[in-house]
């Protein structure tokens, strides 16, 4: 998993509750990313950050929020506004150059009951 940790591996929440997914990397990477993956589907970009204290919306940012206060951390909050939050969430990071290899964490499977 290339020095990227995501916790917890499985997460259960009741409908209407906000939940924060953790992503930490010790690779000294500048850029970090959050993706959502639904069963049998590809990766959809939620948010990304290319530098501390800055982030951009991806293709499906509605109902999610992020922060990037530290280079090594990029937590994702799934809010109650996200209509269908049950999914597999993947965090990734890469170096400053566009062609630096992007590495992924092991993922967090969120189930909203």
Smallest distance from another protein to CB 16, Å: 27
Please state the closest distance from residue 80 (CB atom) to another protein, in A.
26
Spatial CA neighbour of 36 closest among 61, 15, 13: 61
* Residue 73: alpha-carbon gap to chain centroid: 10
Q: What angle do CA 43, 47, 49 make, to 5 degrees?
A: 120
Which residue number, 18 or 111, has a Cβ lying nearer to another protein?
111
Question: Between 2 and 80, whose beta carbon lies closer to another protein?
Answer: 2
Question: For binding to another protein (CB under 8 A), which residues are involved?
Answer: 1, 4, 33, 35, 41-43, 45, 48, 50, 56, 58, 90, 92, 98-99, 101-107, 109
The answer to whether 109 and 90 are in contact (CB under 8 A) is no
């Amino acid at each position: 998993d290339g020095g990227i940790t995501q916790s917890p591996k499985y997460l259960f929440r009741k409908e209407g509750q906000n939940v924060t997914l953790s992503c930490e990397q010790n690779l000294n990477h500048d850029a970090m990313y959050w993706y959502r993956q639904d069963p049998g589907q590809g990766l959809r970009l939620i948010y990304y950050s290319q530098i501390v204290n800055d982030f951009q919306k991806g293709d499906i940012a509605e109902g999610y929020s992020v922060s990037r206060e530290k280079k090594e951390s990029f937590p994702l909050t799934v809010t109650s506004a996200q209509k269908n939050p049950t999914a597999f969430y993947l965090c990734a990071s890469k170096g400053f150059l566009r062609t630096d290899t992007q590495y992924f964490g092991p993922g967090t499977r969120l189930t909203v009951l």
